[in-house]
Amino acid sequence: MEKKPGIFLEAQNITKKFGGITALNNVNINVHTGKVNAIVGENGAGKSTLMKILSGVYPDYEGDLYLNGEKVNFSNPKDAMKKGIAIMHQELNLIPYLSIADNIFLGRELHNALGVLDSKKMHKKTKELLERLNCNLNPKTLVSELRVGEQQLVEIAKALLEEAKLVIMDEPTSAISDSEIEVLFKIIASLKEQGVSILYISHKLDKLRLIADRYIGLRDGNTVGTIENAKEASKEDLIRLMVGRDIKNIYKKDSVDFGDEVLRIENICLPKVINKSTFLLKDINFSVKKGEVLGLFGLMGAGRTELLETLFGLHSKIMSGKIYVENKEVRIKSVRDAIKNGIGLVPEDRKEDGLVLGMEISKNVSMASINNVVKSGFLSTKLEADLSKKYIEALKIKTPSEKQLSKNLSGGNQQKVVLAKWLATSPKVLFLDEPTRGIDVNAKNEIYHLINNLAKKGLGIVVVSSELPEIMAISDRILVLSDTRITGYFDQASANEEAIMKAAVV
């Protein structure tokens, strides 16, 4: 095939099947040189699968790939890298017990003249890469000590190490804050200036619209169209390309009558393990009523995740302060205690804490509420199947059956399984840490309605979200955390984006 001007990569008639499931069906796309080519589509549309084919992760598929007009076959990611293709995966792929630098240089270590590993040089280079991202983590820090957002920054740094000609970013912003997104976008702009092509996937449509040059729509494994001039497309055009119809994008919360107080916390403090006189959380007080949705807003590092984890019994040895459920003081020393006292937590990092990827959906859903599926002392596979079917339907989880292994689901659908697992525990208070991370626009609305319905049933809900419009749409009240303390408190009347942001940067 001839080299076509302005086109870096062309994928023709790509079909990919997993057993009986067709993930991609005759997909055709062009990647334009030096442009941000955005791929949009609902959860399970086939976006990540296509990216894995373009980057050599899946060597067997039907169809052809052309790079600058030359036919290519990648047998592994290294092959693709040699041709200038770097990928940042949606699911973070770092090795927890290795340092940041070791992760970045894994498989492409630097050696000195004597053939010995050159750690000094690798640390220096890592430091430079991180600094480019405005991030001052120590290259020697173990990845297991990093928060999800920090891990995402390391993934970005890793993809930037190679002098790539095409950088694929699959949900690069799902866990990082607005200020880091800004840094990333500046880097994307400078890559573009150097003629590097970008393939970019994200469900954060407002942010996506700031950098996309063109859109390619995927639906159920088919290419459904492109929008060549992104600047001319409205958000509605974009949603129509993804979903195939107009959807009401504005969520309107039904009002709920509050009941009695269900959770109250007093003077919660969490010292740092290493230096007990400094704090991760300091004197946190709040309460939640039955039927109320309390939003927790803050920038990365503010302490939001630490707060939910502390109330969930994950830091019981070092925390201090009091927790009351339905006005009775409770001692929560472990996750088991938390569940027993009616507290559920949908964690931020589904891969680490939420989901056993090698297990069936049905096992994952019933895992934290085994009592639901035991009959006369025995585990009932029928009850187990029924329970998960109920949630597959309610949350519209895209899967051939409840027997599917969780690792075979798309990123967004995995997140829904984690949600189902905690809903099944019938908690009194539910903590949701970034519940719509990686979730498509359509499914986001479903989750907002679900939160609203849970509130109507009398649950008290605490939601952490870094998306301001989202937290404003779903919460009755909003608390802002900054630098370990509560720095703002808003009700529906006083909440506006500017005021909340101001409190978050105190």
Ligand X SMILES: Nc1ncnc2c1ncn2[C@@H]1O[C@H](COP(=O)(O)OP(=O)(O)OP(=O)(O)O)[C@@H](O)[C@H]1O
Residues that bind Mg ion (CB under 5 A): 48, 90, 410-411
Minimum distance from residue 231 beta carbon to ligand X (Å): 24
Kindly tell me which of 303 and 411 has the beta carbon lying closer to ligand X.
411
370 binds, among Mg ion, ligand X, none (CB under 5 to 8 A by kind): none
Q: Which of residues 433-492 bind ligand X (CB under 6 A)?
A: 440
Kindly tell me which of 262 and 395 has the beta carbon lying closer to ligand X.
395
Minimum distance from residue 91 beta carbon to ligand X (Å): 9
Q: Is 412 in the site for ligand X (CB under 6 A)?
A: yes
Residue 336 Rama label (left phi>0; alpha psi -120 to 50; beta): alpha
Kindly tell me which of 310 and 406 has the beta carbon lying closer to ligand X.
406
Helix, coil or strand: residue 498: helix
Q: Is 411 in the site for ligand X (CB under 6 A)?
A: yes
Return the bridge partners of 110, or none.
Answer: none
Kindly tell me which of 145 and 206 has the beta carbon lying closer to ligand X.
206
Minimum distance from residue 201 beta carbon to Mg ion (Å): 7
- Which segment (180-188, 283-291, 411-419, 471-479) binds ligand X by CB under 6 A? 411-419
Kindly tell me which of 45 and 288 has the beta carbon lying closer to Mg ion.
45
Q: Is 90 in the site for ligand X (CB under 6 A)?
A: yes
Kindly tell me which of 43 and 197 has the beta carbon lying closer to ligand X.
43
Taking CB under 6 A as the criterion, the residue among 408, 426, 442, 487 binding ligand X is: 408
49 binds, among ligand X, Mg ion, none (CB under 5 to 8 A by kind): ligand X
Backbone angles phi, psi at 153, to 5 degrees: -65, -40
Kindly tell me which of 51 and 478 has the beta carbon lying closer to ligand X.
51
What span, in angstroms and rounded, lies between the C-alpha atoms of 460 and 294?
8
Kindly tell me which of 289 and 398 has the beta carbon lying closer to Mg ion.
398
What span, in angstroms and rounded, lies between the C-alpha atoms of 498 and 224?
38
45 binds, among ligand X, Mg ion, none (CB under 5 to 8 A by kind): ligand X
Would strands 197-201 and 166-170 be described as parallel, antiparallel, or unpaired?
Answer: parallel
Residue with token string 């339905």: 326
Helix, coil or strand: residue 178: helix
Kindly tell me which of 410 and 425 has the beta carbon lying closer to Mg ion.
410
> Identity (one letter) of the amino acid at 32?
H
Minimum distance from residue 443 beta carbon to ligand X (Å): 9
Q: Count CA atoms within 13 Å of residue 232 on its CB side.
A: 4
| Six-digit token string for 329 | 């003081």
What span, in angstroms and rounded, lies between the C-alpha atoms of 136 and 348?
23
Convert 200-250 into a string of H (helix), E (strand) and C (coil). EECCCHHHHHHHCCEEEEEECCEEEEEECCHHHCCHHHHHHHHHCCCCCCC
**Which residue lies nearest Mg ion, judged by its C-beta?**
48
Minimum distance from residue 36 beta carbon to ligand X (Å): 18
402 binds, among ligand X, Mg ion, none (CB under 5 to 8 A by kind): none
Residues in contact with ligand X, total (CB under 6 A)?
20
Minimum distance from residue 367 beta carbon to ligand X (Å): 20
Measured CA angle at 467 (ends 344, 260), to 5 deg: 40
Residue with token string 């009932």: 380
Minimum distance from residue 40 beta carbon to ligand X (Å): 9
Q: Which of residues 380-399 bind ligand X (CB under 6 A)?
A: 398
Measured CA angle at 308 (ends 304, 314), to 5 deg: 125
Cβ neighbours of residue 189 closer than 8 Å, sequence gap 6 or more = 211
Minimum distance from residue 199 beta carbon to ligand X (Å): 12
What span, in angstroms and rounded, lies between the C-alpha atoms of 61 and 53?
8
Cβ atoms of residues 23 and 16 within 8 Å: yes
What span, in angstroms and rounded, lies between the C-alpha atoms of 173 and 179?
11
Minimum distance from residue 446 beta carbon to ligand X (Å): 14
What span, in angstroms and rounded, lies between the C-alpha atoms of 298 and 468?
10
Q: Which of residues 21-80 bind ligand X (CB under 6 A)?
A: 21, 23, 41, 43-49
Minimum distance from residue 47 beta carbon to ligand X (Å): 3
What span, in angstroms and rounded, lies between the C-alpha atoms of 280 and 233?
43
477: number of Cβ within 10 Å: 17
- Which segment (15-23, 331-339, 383-391, 482-490) binds ligand X by CB under 6 A? 15-23
Kindly tell me which of 402 and 440 has the beta carbon lying closer to ligand X.
440
Residues found near ligand X in the complex (CB under 6 A): 18, 21, 23, 41, 43-49, 90, 398, 408-413, 440
